[in-house]
Amino acid sequence: MKVAVYPGSFDPVTYGHLDIIQRASEMFDKVIVAVMCNSAKTPLFTLDERVKMLKESIGNLNNVEIKSFDGLLIDYCKDQGIHIIVRGLRAITDFEYELQIAQVNRELSHNQVDTVFLTTNIKYSYLSSSVVKEIASYNGDITPCVPKNVEDALYQKYGLR
């Protein structure tokens, strides 16, 4: 069975992430969306909130599971017997960082874990969690960027609803 892990901060999940999840779910037997809690970034949403929003947003993709993890991704892969990491690529700026992380992960896993990159759906190429948070914080319209549950949670976080 081909199992892939799609790791990220998902702070919060956007349509860009959901597009990658949907496409990965068609490529692999099972996709584990792994929400990282050890991100260097200070998240707006708690780990539980990020997991909950993802669970509410993925709809009925039966082969997708939402999990959280702490520590090194490569250790998580080893624990779970996973050999494939999925990451999304938006622009050339993502590439340099992603290439480095992918090489490190392959090296650390002694060639046991490889990374598969899915290029962004062009209509979401401008989308990032940071951009969405910025727009929401000024009470801007984020309906094209995130599902309703995430939109509500964002405005609530910023005390706007």
Q: How far is CA 128 from CA 14, 122, 161, in A?
A: 7, 13, 22
Report the distance separating Cα 43 and Cα 24, nearest Å: 25
Query: Which of these ranges, 9-17, 56-64, 66-74, 152-160, lies near ligand ADP under the rule CB under 6 A?
Result: 9-17
Catalytic option among 9, 57, 109, 129: 129
* Residue of the chain from 28, 44, 69, 90 that contacts ligand ADP (CB under 6 A): 90
Q: Is 129 a catalytic residue?
A: yes
Contacts (Cβ under 8 Å, ≥6 apart) of 106: 113, 114, 115
Question: Cβ–Cβ contacts within 10 Å for residue 71, how many?
Answer: 11
Residue 11 CB, shortest distance to ligand ADP, in Å, is: 6
88 near ligand ADP, rule: CB under 6 A: yes
| Footprint of ligand ADP (CB under 6 A) | 8-10, 14, 16-17, 20, 39, 87-88, 90, 94, 120, 124, 127-129
